[in-house]
Amino acid sequence: MVPSTAESPHRLLAADRRRDVLAVLADSDRPLTRRELARRVVTRTRDDGASPDDHSDRPVDEAEVALHHRHLPPLLDAGVVAKRENDRFAATEAGRGLHRAERAFRAALGDAAGDGRTGRQMRSDDVEELGSSVRRNPDR
């Protein structure tokens, strides 16, 4: 079951995969199909320098299923991702703002890459603090 994002907005960023989805969509210049999004997320999480087209179908298939069932629903419900025509997904203005805030928070924690895969790992209390900060300062 997907956690209720209305009750705990900080849970949106608690999952690495949701942070990756938000980063990919925030950095994209156009809405992406679920398949394109899955391929880019798989590429983002690998350290081998491969392009999005270099991955076998199995990890992309698994990512696509996880996006559909576990990660896109709470992002859509929270209004940080929007589903456009032709089943394409895009970050909303709120989603891009949340992505910028998350990157700034990671930089403040000393995570130079800003993606959680180097430096100090974000703990659940860090995520709660970020969620509280975003709620207190929605315009930042």
Confidence of residue 34 (pLDDT cuts 50, 70, 90): very high
Architecture of domain 9-136: Orthogonal Bundle (1.10)
Q: How far apart are CA 115 and CA 130, in angstroms?
A: 15
DSSP class per residue in 57-100 = HHHHHHHHHHIIIIIHHHHHHTTSEEEEGGGEEEE-HHHHHHHH
pTM beyond 0.85 = no
Beta-ladder partners of 82: 90
Sort 128 into a burial class: Cβ within 10 Å, 0-12 / 13-18 / 19+.
middle
pLDDT tens digit sequence for 88-122: 999 999 999 999 988 898 888 875 444 444 444 45
pLDDT tens digit sequence for 39-87: 999 998 876 555 555 557 899 999 999 999 999 999 999 999 999 989 9
Per-residue pLDDT at 3: 44
Helices 93-109 and 16-27 pack at an angle, to 10 degrees, of 120
Q: Where are the domains of the chain?
A: 9-136
